[in-house]
Amino acid sequence: MIRSFPFRLLSIALLLCVIQEDLFGRGAFHPKFAMTISEYHEMVETLPFEVQARIIRDPGHFLDLTAAVLESDILLVRHIDRSNGLSPDYTPNDLVRLREVAPDVPVYASDDRLIESAANALLALVRSAADDGIHLAVSSGFRDYPTQEDVYADHITRFGFRSTVQLVAPPGHSEHQLGTTVDFYPVGRRFNDSPQDRWLNEHAGRYGFSMSYPPDLEHITGYLHESWHYRYLGLPAIHLRDRFFGGVQFHLTEFFHRHGDFLQQVLRQ
């Protein structure tokens, strides 16, 4: 029987795990997690094949970075898409006003709030861009549920339902409700390939920000490319996204959506 390449990789990974289990004791093949090998494999096999292949080559590093995300702020990687949303009354509890904590960031939104860690990271990002001669401004930050209802209804009135479905999140399904997400100015195709777009593409990750809707991933994210829409994930999640998830935020947040509760249960404090 000819064994496929992925099967052989899986066999090698199993062997490595057994060796590691001998080192750390049964049920603890990674020092940060009290999970069994079969629990680990059940978790990894739910991921896209290309992500599995990266993890299989370096499972210890994968779990190191996963632990770092869990130990920082799990809310930062909350999975939001068309199927998974937030309740109408969900409001983050540490919102701060950008005009107060980051007065040198131009904000054109009436609601200028973000959670504190995202606001601080945004300030550092905007200052760094300015040092490079790139001027960034914010079109939109936190949006509560009723505001997203207005945005959605207004878009339908102006552009019709079909365009709205491709571009605008329904109420309760917007990353803006997390208080971690900004739209940079100007929103829309004008932003594509602008100096601001190019700068953010190269540097946003260094400040913990992630482009949620990259080009050519509409079939995964459910949204057309939005070059202006960035979500703060924090640096640990950015490292994990880039090292193992092919830079795709959706795969990363979906992983924590499926396995975050289990991982928190088995994480050793």
Applying CB under 5 A, the span of 4-12, 117-125, 214-222, 227-235 interacting with Zn ion comes to 227-235
Nearest approach in angstroms of CB 64 to Zn ion is: 32
- The closest of 102, 99, 108, 109 to 127, measured between CA atoms, is 102
Q: Is 81 in the site for Zn ion (CB under 5 A)?
A: no
- The closest of 23, 18, 6, 204 to 118, measured between CA atoms, is 204
The answer to whether residues 218 and 43 touch, using CB atoms and an 8 Å cutoff, is no
Q: How far apart are CA 63 and CA 67, in angstroms?
A: 6
The partner residues of 107 in beta bridges, in order of sequence, read 138
Nearest approach in angstroms of CB 190 to Zn ion is: 15
The answer to whether residues 214 and 169 touch, using CB atoms and an 8 Å cutoff, is no
**Closest residue to Zn ion, based on beta-carbon distance:** 229
Nearest approach in angstroms of CB 177 to Zn ion is: 11
User: How many CA within 13 A on the CB side of residue 255?
Assistant: 26
Q: How far apart are CA 217 and CA 237, in angstroms?
A: 19
Nearest approach in angstroms of CB 176 to Zn ion is: 6
Of 230 and 244, which has the nearer Cβ to Zn ion?
Answer: 230
Q: Is 229 in the site for Zn ion (CB under 5 A)?
A: yes
Of 30 and 173, which has the nearer Cβ to Zn ion?
Answer: 173
Q: How many residues bind Zn ion (CB under 5 A)?
A: 2
Which 3 state secondary structure label does DSSP give 175?
Answer: helix
User: How many CA within 13 A on the CB side of residue 199?
Assistant: 18
One-letter amino acid for residue 238 of the chain: I
Q: How far apart are CA 147 and CA 139, in angstroms?
A: 14
Nearest approach in angstroms of CB 179 to Zn ion is: 13
Nearest approach in angstroms of CB 220 to Zn ion is: 17
Of 96 and 211, which has the nearer Cβ to Zn ion?
Answer: 211
Give φ, ψ of 96 to 5 degrees.
Answer: -125, 160
Q: Is the peptide bond before 236 cis (omega within 30 degrees of 0)?
A: no
Of 16 and 167, which has the nearer Cβ to Zn ion?
Answer: 167
Applying CB under 5 A, the span of 44-52, 63-71, 188-196, 224-232 interacting with Zn ion comes to 224-232
Of 66 and 210, which has the nearer Cβ to Zn ion?
Answer: 210
Of 62 and 223, which has the nearer Cβ to Zn ion?
Answer: 223
Q: Is 143 in the site for Zn ion (CB under 5 A)?
A: no
For Zn ion, the binding residues in 168-197 under the rule CB under 5 A are 183
Nearest approach in angstroms of CB 185 to Zn ion is: 12
Distance between the two ends of the chain, CA-based, in angstroms? 45
Residue 35 tokens, joined: 């999970």
- The closest of 228, 138, 221, 141 to 192, measured between CA atoms, is 228
Of 183 and 254, which has the nearer Cβ to Zn ion?
Answer: 183
Applying CB under 5 A, the span of 5-13, 90-98, 116-124, 226-234 interacting with Zn ion comes to 226-234
Nearest approach in angstroms of CB 226 to Zn ion is: 6
Summarize as ranges the residues that interact with Zn ion (CB under 5 A).
Answer: 183, 229
